[in-house]
A and B are shown apart, each in its own frame.
Chain A
Amino acid sequence: MNGAARGAPEKRIVTRMADRLYPTATFIGAIVLWQLVVIVTGIHAIVLPAPTAVIESMTSAFGTLAHNALPTVLAIVVGFVGAVAVGVPLAILIAASPTFEKSFYPLLLGSQGVPKVAMAPILIVWFGFGFLPKILIAMLIAFFPIVIDTVAGLRSIDPNYIHLARSMGASRSKIYWRLLLPNALPHMFAGFKVAMALAIVGAIVGEMVGANNGLGYVLVVANGNLDMALVFATLVWLVVISLLLTGAIEVTERILLPWSRKSRNEGLARTIR
């Protein structure tokens, strides 16, 4: 952690741009290679469509994809928000009440053995086709990391903070709101990031198993029609959606908790020096 990191600011900006250049170059290289492989081997489009065919499909099917992206994004977001709305209060209860913890936490941990994606068909039977089951699947799968990380965050405090607050005559609720929860936020955001990635998986699986719209549904239909170009075009949309949604959480964290990254980096820098 000496010479390079302490370089002049201009140098660091150049380094950062170079850092982005490398993956971009690799990405473009891979696409070119892909195109070449398709041309050289003459592989059938049913197996592997050329990148140009995918781009072609993205433009021709733009309307369909855009139209179906909306319900997918909605299912992801509603599922995620639902998971936060249920997961955070549950975590607070678990952290606050030993009785509650003893009665529910082991069951909750045990329930993680159930592969939630495999629950999709059951949920379809219970709630029928449509919006509700895919939201429930997204929620179910996203909810666990939120609970775990929130509980861990609420417990990650040095007990002397609580001693200090008690010597200030603080009420339990004040200790919770002004001390424990803010202190837990960085942990919670770590959970939110994982949860968002899982909510995306959940929503798509839900759409693949039982829905009549959404990108997951488009995926199944295109697959059935052996329209591989459209399958890949849909995947591109899903990648972009996933990057945007996880990015949104990252941005929210940076805006809401500027202290989190900085104090963490500072702590890291101190241990390295």
Chain B
Amino acid sequence: MIEISNVNKSFPTKDGTVVALDNVELDIGKGDFVSIVGPSGCGKSTLMMCVAGLAQPSAGRITIENQQVTGPVTDVGIVFQDALLLDWRNVLDNVLFQIEMRGLPKADYRDRALALLKRVGLASFENKYPWELSGGMRQRVALCRALVHDPPLLLMDEPFGALDTLTRDQMNIDLLNLCEGGNKTVLFITHSISEAIFLSDRVIVMSQRPGRVVEDIRISFDEERKLDIRSIPRFVEYEKRIYHTFRKLGVLSG
């Protein structure tokens, strides 16, 4: 579905050129849930912006469904670390912002928006305003907004990074539920190794800047993905492997 070939991205700054991405190669199949982990500042967000067509690679090419990305990709739902809700709209209208901006008929999507809100535990919150919600609830609204038009592709940049562990665990389960069955392709950026393993079919490990793909790990479990899965030997093996890679890269010591 997504082909990233030889992508380089550098930023000219006053102290010289910063190379954020260095020959990134990555193919993502349709329906895959792919997480990217890597040290802070290694270019994960930059890569996602390039995939979204909101930034242009300095070299190389990115194609989505065999179409080269040259401008903003619109067949997509995006979630950032901040919920980015609009203070002047209630929860339902925040979700329907997606529909409005696309010029689609709002009435047709109202039920779907309400159903999504219900699935993430926000039933009866549709008339609340962002300031009346907790951080986790806001992020759930952002998630519903990213899904309301049923996009084939989800791009998420540390969507749960600002949440406490408990809320984060719940959001992980909610996300798996929402993506289940629907053949959505997900590109998920995170700092949390266990979150990446828990959610993904593949975990991509990036090196520190200039960011390269250093490891590509297929994740599969015989067990159903529930939170206890995080303590089974196989899960722990995956974790060890990724930590080992970071140690080898010099990102972690000890």
Contact = CB atoms under 8 A, between A and B. Distances in A.
Interface of A: 158, 160-161, 163-170, 174, 178-179, 182-183, 185, 257, 259-260, 262-263, 266
Given A163-B52, A259-B129, A263-B131, A169 B86 contact: no
Nearest to A262: B131
Given A168-B101, A169-B101, A174-B101, A158 B74 contact: no
A69 B174 CA distance: 64
A167 B76 contact: yes
A178 B101 contact: yes
B80 A167 contact: no
A167 B73 contact: yes
B129 A167 contact: no
Nearest to B151: A167
Interface residues of B, number: 23
Contact of A158 (B72, B82, B98, B130): B82
A260 B52 CA distance: 31
Contact of B80 (A160, A168, A185, A260): A160
A161 B86 CA distance: 9
Given A160-B80, A168-B74, A260 B101 contact: no
B240 interface: no
A165 B86 contact: no
Contact of A179 (B52, B74, B86): B86
B131 A167 contact: no
B88 A169 contact: no
Interface in B105-147: 129-131
Nearest to A170: B101
Contacts of B102: 168-170
B49 interface: yes
Contact of B88 (A163, A164, A182): A182
Contacts of B101: 165, 168-170, 174, 178
A12 B224 CA distance: 53
A83 B247 CA distance: 62
B74 A164 contact: no
Nearest to A257: B88
Interface in B78-103: 78, 80, 82, 84, 86-88, 97-98, 100-103
14 contacts: A160-B80, A160-B84, A161-B84, A163-B54, A164-B84, A167-B78, A168-B98, A169-B102, A178-B97, A178-B101, A259-B87, A259-B129, A260-B87, A266-B131
B76 to A, nearest CB: 6
Contacts of B49: 163
A164 B97 CA distance: 10
Contacts of A257: 88
Contacts of A266: 131
Nearest to B52: A167
Contacts of A179: 86
Contacts of A262: 129, 131
A170 B78 CA distance: 14
Contacts of B86: 179, 182-183
Contacts of A166: 54, 72
A165 B76 CA distance: 11
Given A170-B101, A182-B86, A259-B131, 11 more contacts: A158-B84, A163-B52, A166-B54, A167-B74, A174-B101, A178-B101, A259-B87, A260-B87, A262-B131, A263-B130, A266-B131
B128 to A, nearest CB: 12
Contact of A167 (B72, B87, B88): B72
Contacts of A158: 82, 84
B157 to A, nearest CB: 9
Contacts of B73: 167
B167 to A, nearest CB: 16
Interface in B36-94: 49, 52, 54, 72-74, 76, 78, 80, 82, 84, 86-88
